[in-house]
Structure 1
Amino acid sequence: MYAYTLCFVRRERELLLLNRFARPNMGKWNGIGGKIEPGETPLDCIVREIREETGIRIDKPEPAGTVTWLTKTGVSGMYVYLASVPPSFSFPTPVRVDEGVLDWKSADWVLHPDNDGIADNVRQFLPGMLDGETMDHRFSFDEAGHLVGYAKAPLPALGSAR
């Protein structure tokens, strides 16, 4: 079981992103999420994190895959979810919250190859997820933390991730 969750809240072709005040990914835009608490399922965690970080109640985000980090010291990762809200959903941004600044960004902007303001590796795993592909996205890092490899693999049954 992985220790983290992440969700991209979608309103048509816009994504609600968080520009983080703290590490990891300080100063970069990313989805909403956090650490799974003891006794909590990944689904319970992401529902709680969305509510805590945005005030939005989303009861059934859809599992979109996993992201795995392979390092010399071990394996870690996160469960990734997508949640859709209707086009008429009103959530005025930008808005400052405890974790950072929330803002709606167009998916084209998020995925643009020249956009360095997005959390590392999002442009690699998010396009497939937005297209309905459910995979495990595996990222390998060297001792210095530099990305040295990326591969997609079939996702094992999510079981407790739902």
Structure 2
Amino acid sequence: MIKYTICFLKRQSRFLMLNRLHPPIMGLWNGVGGKLEPDEAPLSGVLREVLEETGIPLKSAAYKGMVTWAIDGASHGGMHAFIAEVPDDFDIKTPVLIDEGILDWRELEWILHPENAGVPENLPFFLPDMLAGDDCFHYHFCYSNGTITSHEKTPLSEAILQSS
């Protein structure tokens, strides 16, 4: 069972990213999200997390799939991934320090730059696909000694999507 959510908040070509103050991925820029509460649906959880961390009252977010990972051969974790447009009438002054880290806008070109060591290593493998279309995928990453050793992208079936 996947216990976490992540949302990439978009406005034109920029994304509101979080530079995390705490592990995991401390010091890296990533989307906003967090742990699902017991019996909470992924969409409800991500909308709650976005509101708690940014103050942005989203009405919806587009489900884009799941990102899971295994470390040294053992299943380790996963998150439901979403993309959402920040409402034009919502103004957030950045950079801003919150409990989880620093929120600031980043251009997509910067996020996906091949020499960018400031984002999670797996982000460039799944974010472009999530932005490109309506299909949902399961992205699975295997790590050894902190480095991606392999990754797979599998389409999610309707049955999986309806149970998410």
TM-score (norm 2): 0.91
d(CA) in 2 for partners of 1:146 and 1:108?
23
d(CA) in 2 for partners of 1:13 and 1:31?
15
1:158 aligns with 2:123: no
8 Å CA contact 1:12, 1:87 repeated in 2: no
d(CA) in 2 for partners of 1:39 and 1:16?
28
What is the aligned partner in structure 2 of residue 98 from structure 1? Answer: 99
d(CA) in 2 for partners of 1:104 and 1:65?
23
Q: CA deviation at 1:146?
A: 3.0
Amino acid aligned to 1:26 = M
TM-score (norm 1): 0.92
SS at match of 2:125: helix
Moved more, 21-30 or 144-153: 144-153
What is the aligned partner in structure 2 of residue 114 from structure 1? Answer: 115
Gaps of 5+ in 1: none
d(CA) in 1 for partners of 2:163 and 2:74?
25
Deviations for 1:79-128, whole angstroms, at most 9, x for unmatched residues?
00000124564212101101000001001110111110012211111011
Gaps of 5+ in 2: none
Amino acid aligned to 1:134 = C
1:134 aligns with 2:136: yes
CA-based RMSD of the aligned residues comes to 1.5
1:68 aligns with 2:64: no
Deviations for 1:24-75, whole angstroms, at most 9, x for unmatched residues?
1100000000111112111111011000100111121110111111342225
Pairs aligned (count): 160
SS at match of 1:27: coil
8 Å CA contact 1:137, 1:153 repeated in 2: yes
8 Å CA contact 1:9, 1:83 repeated in 2: yes
What is the aligned partner in structure 1 of residue 57 from structure 2? Answer: 57
d(CA) in 2 for partners of 1:151 and 1:29?
23
Displacement over 6 Å in runs of 4+: none
d(CA) in 2 for partners of 1:160 and 1:51?
24
Q: How much identity, in percent, do the aligned residues show? A: 44
What is the aligned partner in structure 2 of residue 39 from structure 1? Answer: 39
Amino acid aligned to 1:73 = A
d(CA) in 1 for partners of 2:63 and 2:151?
21
